[in-house]
Structure 1
Amino acid sequence: MKAIRRITVRPVLPAPLAPLNDLARNLRWSWHEETRELFRSLDPERWDAAHRDPVRLLGTVTAERFAALAADPAFLDRLAACAEDLREYTGGDRWYQTRTGSGGPAAVAYFSPEFGITAALPQYSGGLGILAGDHLKAASDLGVPLVGVGLLYRHGYFRQTLSRDGWQQEQYPVLDPDELPLTVLSEPGGTPAHLALALPGGRSLRARIWVAQVGRVPLLLLDSDLEENDSGAREVTDRLYGGGSEHRLLQEMLLGIGGVRAVRAYCRLTGHPAPEVFHTNEGHAGFLGVERIHEHVGRGLDFDAAVEAVRAGTVFTTHTPVPAGIDRFDRDLVARHFGPDAELPALDADQVLRLGRETYPGGDPTLFNMAVMGLRLGQRANGVSLLHGRVSREMFAGLWPGFDAEEVPITSVTNGVHAPTWVAPEVLRLSARQLGARRVEEALSTGDDSRWDALAEIPDPDLWGLRRNLRERLVGEVRERLYRSWRQRGAAAAELGWIDSVLDPDVLTIGFARRVPSYKRLTLMLRDRERLTRLLLHPERPVQVVVAGKAHPADDGGKRLVQELVRFTDDPRVRHRIVFLPDYGMGMAQKLYPGCDVWLNNPLRPLEACGTSGMKAALNGCLNLSVRDGWWDEWYEPDFGWAVPTADGDATDPERRDDLEARALYDLLERRITPRFYERGPDGLPDRWVAMVRQTLTRLGPKVLAARMVREYVERLYVPATTAHRALTADAARELAGWKARVRAAWPRVAVDHVEASGAGAPPELGAVLPLRVRVRLGELAPGDVEVQAVAGRVDPDDRIVDAVAVPLKPAGGADLEGCWVYEGQLDLARTGPFGYTVRILPAHPLLGSAAELGLVAAPVTGTATGAGVLLR
């Protein structure tokens, strides 16, 4: 019989074991080895059966075992040590509390549609969620006062299995919040705290707030599966990235609007400081800005002033390098969910639409673009690698007309990964022997790269022995998972004896694991199957490959790629050398990254925003073999691995491009990678390979840390956003909004009238100065409203200025009879060769985030300049 209702009965622990509850409910155990080992010692078999989840484990341990542990002095000492360590970790000062300088935010609210904290809380699908989880963990380690905000999906993301013919199949297990490391946020009387959104037609969407404690950081997860909701509203938080347009819109309204209300409730009920900065991790949470505008309107600001107040304290991070990766909704669908008959009645639906409509050349004004809204409501924005920042500036340049792409106000903070989560315990133990356990913890948790040099002193035999042990552990893990997969595919145990010889701990092992959109090119390695087969079966220098990845349930193209690869791995000739493991997730990844010698990444450049899997592999001494995209474009050096040559460019046929890049990949493997791995020095070790492992750990390791990333967010984005937020009082917001309206209205009459360069008749010499005199028309504006600049630099063959430097010019007296102003200044001629300059007028205000913020610029027209270009000799 099937139960009509499921409940979870929690264990009652003996008093001496009470701290186990606190340790289990704080997800720091997911990256703290001593706490995990403590739970494992309760019952190793049950620990494995509970998938290494302390909450599940505590529900399965017998009362007799608890009684025995409560009387075991050695166990109680370990328990007390772990509990005290957690108290010190959550209560003491960290980097943020001791950093020099001031002006940091009292709190930051960090919104993301998914969070990958641990496999025990499956609320992630891929890199975006894992990055968000690592962001929270690193913030906790550093003491940054973050509050995470997301949704609690009752089915999470799907579990992946394979049919007998290799077709991906999806299952969505139901998650019971009472079985997860969560607590419900409650009012003082014990009633669960609820929030509600108004829906069209008089309906409502109610949600409760669950709290996951991630070290020092609370993560708020909103859950709409409540009996008070109708069936449609209950299903809003059913699964990650599921449903049609309206379903996704409701998810994103709940995440953004409901998320702000959840933060307000959490701060009210716990005394947590109110956030001064709101960080939107991708556009899915963009409606948080609309809710905050609504709050300001309720306090007496008009819409435009409220927008300014919100923008000042908002950070927006974009993760996609292609427009197709952005959520876009029909304008009418969005309009139906706002206004007097739905949510945020104080705002007109047209005002909300104005924030996200694609009203720029090449855009579609009938669509509401979540990333566009994120950029319009975030005074500070960033991509997630240097290359991705450049791609983003080009992709969104239409929002800032008149400015070159390099001046678009989108910066870059390159992603990082949380080392304590992703570094294998064996690597940590070897590092601790060399540095000491405390120094290792400080190096990983703070991003202090000065402590990594000592790893260079690890003896070669120890380093190579570590790599061999990790490879051997991976071989065992692969065989277990492969056996389970084949049984799920319908194979009998009697036909699976071959699995015992799958992979070899002494063979060069390549890993490839990620989501399976087409641009990541899962099957590029199959481009020349015979050549790949020769690599796999080489008699002296064989290669073995471990592959994993999920295609989106609605992506049949991605599923066909998975099936194509699986069918190749099923071939009896090669199945002992190449495997596909279904159901890629955090648990698998934590075994896969350390056990591989080479991490492969071959996306279509530049479509990989960052791609952090190779970072996790590198922290375990795995070398990268990758197209120079995302973070690898930025930090590649021959000491760390290999760069796959690319044939990117519009002129290259896609099929030919894949052929060329696959050929380059095979060449690297045959001629450079496998010879180096199998080459032995006088001591019988692959000396040159071990040297690359050492360089990867000591020089690349500190760069790829999430601690480095979060410190950059604090210093470069959170602190400036806090300063701007504090400056934008209600009166300042009104003044700034009024000033912008006045400037926009007056701008059509702003112009550069004439530019004169004194002494430009003869070619100048290096070190000379070029005096400029510029006549400008400001219309109704005054000099205090603008900045007049000379922009100078090298010029290319098309006379475009590159490596430009802007030099402010100063007014020389008042307006003349025609209402024109004269500005003067000089250019220092500090480089030889072709050199050019121009002059422009920009709006200027002390509260602007950047000169390009309004997208307004006035530049000379042809014939307004005298001596406008020079060639230095």
Structure 2
Amino acid sequence: MAFDLNYYTPAPEFATPAAYFSMEFALDQALKTYSGGLGFLAGSHMRSVYELKQNVIGISILWSYGYYDQSRSDDQTMRAEFHRKHYSFLQDTGITFPITIHEAQVQVRALYLDPETFGTAPMFFLTTDIPENDHLSRTISHHLYDGDTATRVAQSILLGVGGGKLLDVLNRETEVYHLNEGHGLPLAFFLHEKFGRDRAKVREHLVFTTHTPELAGNEEHPLELLYKMSFFGRLTLGEVRDLGIVENERVNYTLTALRFARISNGVSKVHGKVANEMWGHNEGISPIIAITNSQNGTYWRDEQLHKALEANNDEALLARKRELKKRLFDIVADQTGKLLDPDALTLVWARRFAGYKRADLILRHFERFQKLVTDTGRPLQVIWAGKPYPKDFGAIAVFNSLIEKTKNFNTCAVLTGYELGLSAAMKKGSDIWLNTPRFPREASGTSGMTAAMNGCISLSIPDGWIPEFARDGENSFLLPLAELNAAENEKDDLEATGILDALENDIIPLYYDQPAKFLAIRKAAMRDVEPEFESGRMATEYYQRMYDAK
């Protein structure tokens, strides 16, 4: 074999062999195997695995067309394009093996990413897009989060069963199998068969992370469809029913994973509480603890900014920040023809584009917003970016409405191509990071962590990780939260007002009139975000509280 699973000697405290299954990993701009926050989180985790020398292997799928390439139509609205990807840095292992999908054999090939390539755990990417398969089987690994239900089910089987079988083909001893979200749930049934249908044995080895604090976001499908797709391996329909995982003739991925896992976790303290409220009344589930998501500082932080911070050199820090703003504004000018001012207060909203994240909330009271972005004395510049799911037409409509509503403002821009590279440029080149999810639907929300690492201050709803970090007016700015049971319109009105009030009354006056105080908040954000929200802490906590906990 052209690869070495024993690439480094694991540190003694991280010797337990584990495998981490995730549908997406954001490891490098060049490797397009991710869509948004789940991938960013998984990528940072694998980087910290490498830095800490943990005994973890990452397993995912090689998406032939990635997620999609976000570009513009002639009228500047969003367009999704799909282009086949090729990666010279992935090694063909020579390993091909069959799995069963829809009662037919599908051949799986494994490709390997060397740890030194991007500074990650050893990584394997599975593909069915090989000549040994028919056209339909080849398409299973074409598109991340394919819109066709049967294809999505097949992708779950590829990740779970394919990943589990790969570890056996490699003869790799694996003590802990870690499901990052429920996408790879068929792994549980693969292990069920592997361990002689001893469910207690499966529980000894399987751990699970849930990321979605809303019922509708937790994938479930009809039992009949999953059974026909060979989701449950060799189990008969009666044996599946006997497992106690079928409710109303449907199988919920999250609930089933909770019932097969030894221990599970939510991804912030708020989310841990929400997850227990959502699932805790169900019989037979694992304990759900909270391990807050975090991001890898080595990858995300600007070293010059941090050297200036450590040296307490305010002049150097501000000069570097201005330089980083100019770099971001070069991207803005290239995409939109608008040239922004590096001395002006710049606010960014950027993350996966979904309705509950409310990218357009700041525009709700439009006349007030317009006044802020057209004030020539103390201007506010606003930039948006994010990728909607390509068939989420509501989110796409919001994206396009931002372009239409702000096209005549020279201080506003909407960018396409929100991937790792643009994300880093936006975090390094902005002053305020706006976060406006509907509470409590943001499980973690790690983009504000990497923004803070780069001297960008969060202006946020107190959801996800924010309550664990934020000190209002000291290292961040907190937005008022509407009553939980209020109508959505009322919530939006109140929380949109809170954004504009914070900008008008606090942030803009501080930036322009009290720059020393604004700088103090910027520096506090940089100091306070690490090490608690750096992924070395998270990766260590997974070993201490899940992998080695019995």
TM over 0.5: yes
1:694 deviates by 1.7
Are the equivalent residues in 2 in contact too, given 1:105–1:276 (CA < 8 A)?
Answer: no
Match 2:288 to one of 387, 407, 410: 410
The reply to whether residue 710 of structure 1 matches residue 539 of structure 2 is yes
CA distance in 2, matches of 1:539, 1:231: 58
Q: Partner letter of residue 644 of structure 1?
A: L
1:415 deviates by 0.4
Match 2:383 to one of 531, 546, 554: 546
Name whichever of 416-425 and 606-615 sits farther off: 416-425
Aligned to 1:556: 393
Q: Partner letter of residue 81 of structure 2?
A: Q
CA distance in 1, matches of 2:434, 2:154: 38
The reply to whether residue 197 of structure 1 matches residue 99 of structure 2 is yes
1:332 deviates by 0.4
Aligned to 1:674: 508
Are the equivalent residues in 1 in contact too, given 2:24–2:35 (CA < 8 A)?
Answer: yes
Aligned to 1:525: 362
SS at match of 2:35: coil
CA distance in 2, matches of 1:372, 1:289: 12
Aligned to 1:375: 258
Aligned to 1:329: 221
CA distance in 1, matches of 2:456, 2:238: 53
Distance 1:366 1:426, change over 3 A: same
> How do residues 187-586 of structure 1 correspond to structure 2 at under 5 angstroms?
192-200=94-102, 203-214=104-115, 215=119, 217-266=121-170, 268=171, 273-297=172-196, 303=197, 306-338=198-230, 344-345=233-234, 347-353=235-241, 355=243, 357-359=245-247, 365-400=248-283, 409-430=287-308, 455=310, 457-483=311-337, 499=338, 502-571=339-408, 574=409, 576-586=410-420
1:370 deviates by 0.9
CA distance in 2, matches of 1:317, 1:388: 11
Q: Partner letter of residue 329 of structure 2?
A: V
What's the C-alpha RMSD, in Å, of the aligned pairs?
2.2
Are the equivalent residues in 1 in contact too, given 2:46–2:120 (CA < 8 A)?
Answer: no
The reply to whether residue 690 of structure 1 matches residue 519 of structure 2 is yes
Are the equivalent residues in 1 in contact too, given 2:264–2:286 (CA < 8 A)?
Answer: no
Match 1:593 to one of 409, 427, 437: 427
Aligned to 2:17: 107
CA distance in 2, matches of 1:343, 1:379: 19
TM-score of the two chains, using structure 1 as the length reference: 0.60
The reply to whether residue 129 of structure 1 matches residue 22 of structure 2 is no
Aligned to 1:63: none
CA distance in 1, matches of 2:520, 2:102: 64
Equivalent pairs counted in the alignment come to 544
Q: Partner letter of residue 508 of structure 2?
A: T
Are the equivalent residues in 2 in contact too, given 1:197–1:343 (CA < 8 A)?
Answer: no
1:254 deviates by 1.0
Aligned to 1:804: none
Q: Partner letter of residue 97 of structure 2?
A: L
CA distance in 2, matches of 1:199, 1:171: 28
Are the equivalent residues in 1 in contact too, given 2:101–2:154 (CA < 8 A)?
Answer: no
Q: Partner letter of residue 366 of structure 1?
A: E
CA distance in 2, matches of 1:139, 1:353: 38
> How do residues 161-176 of structure 1 correspond to structure 2 at under 5 angstroms?
161-176=71-86
The reply to whether residue 620 of structure 1 matches residue 489 of structure 2 is no
> How do residues 69-108 of structure 1 correspond to structure 2 at under 5 angstroms?
91=8, 97=11, 99=13, 104-108=14-18
Are the equivalent residues in 2 in contact too, given 1:136–1:217 (CA < 8 A)?
Answer: yes
1:411 deviates by 0.6
Using CA pairs below 8 Å that are at least 6 residues apart, which structure has the higher relative contact order? 2
Aligned to 1:816: none
- Structure 2 unmatched ranges of 5 or more: none
CA distance in 1, matches of 2:466, 2:321: 22
Q: What per-residue deviation string (whole Å, max 9, x for no partner) do you get for residues 211-241 of structure 1?
A: 1123362111110012221221111101000
Are the equivalent residues in 1 in contact too, given 2:381–2:412 (CA < 8 A)?
Answer: yes
The reply to whether residue 655 of structure 1 matches residue 489 of structure 2 is yes
Distance 1:205 1:356, change over 3 A: farther
CA distance in 1, matches of 2:199, 2:402: 50
SS at match of 1:703: coil
Aligned to 1:645: 480
1:162 deviates by 2.4
The reply to whether residue 183 of structure 1 matches residue 91 of structure 2 is yes
Distance 1:216 1:536, change over 3 A: closer
CA distance in 2, matches of 1:194, 1:182: 15
Distance 1:581 1:478, change over 3 A: same
Match 1:608 to one of 439, 442, 467: 442
1:326 deviates by 1.4
Distance 1:633 1:395, change over 3 A: same
SS at match of 1:704: coil
Are the equivalent residues in 2 in contact too, given 1:153–1:223 (CA < 8 A)?
Answer: yes
1:428 deviates by 4.7
SS at match of 2:130: coil
Distance 1:568 1:348, change over 3 A: same
SS at match of 1:477: helix
1:356 deviates by 7.2
Q: Partner letter of residue 208 of structure 1?
A: R
Are the equivalent residues in 2 in contact too, given 1:424–1:590 (CA < 8 A)?
Answer: no
Deviation >4 Å, runs of 4+: 353-356
1:551 deviates by 1.3
Q: What per-residue deviation string (whole Å, max 9, x for no partner) do you get for residues 658-709 of structure 1?
A: 11110111000000001111124xxxxx111111122112222322101111
Are the equivalent residues in 1 in contact too, given 2:203–2:262 (CA < 8 A)?
Answer: yes
Q: What per-residue deviation string (whole Å, max 9, x for no partner) do you get for residues 251-298 of structure 1?
A: 1011101110112223x3xxxx5110010000001111111111122x
Q: Partner letter of residue 168 of structure 2?
A: R
- Structure 1 unmatched ranges of 5 or more: 1-21, 27-88, 186-191, 298-302, 360-364, 402-406, 432-454, 484-498, 681-685, 725-873
Q: Partner letter of residue 510 of structure 2?
A: R
1:90 deviates by 6.0
Are the equivalent residues in 2 in contact too, given 1:517–1:551 (CA < 8 A)?
Answer: yes
Q: Partner letter of residue 107 of structure 2?
A: R
Q: What per-residue deviation string (whole Å, max 9, x for no partner) do you get for residues 293-327 of structure 1?
A: 11122xxxxx3xx1100111211000000111111
SS at match of 1:233: helix
1:516 deviates by 1.6
CA distance in 2, matches of 1:654, 1:219: 43
Q: What per-residue deviation string (whole Å, max 9, x for no partner) do you get for residues 536-594 of structure 1?
A: 122322110111011111111111101110102212xx1x2010001111111111101
CA distance in 2, matches of 1:705, 1:597: 20
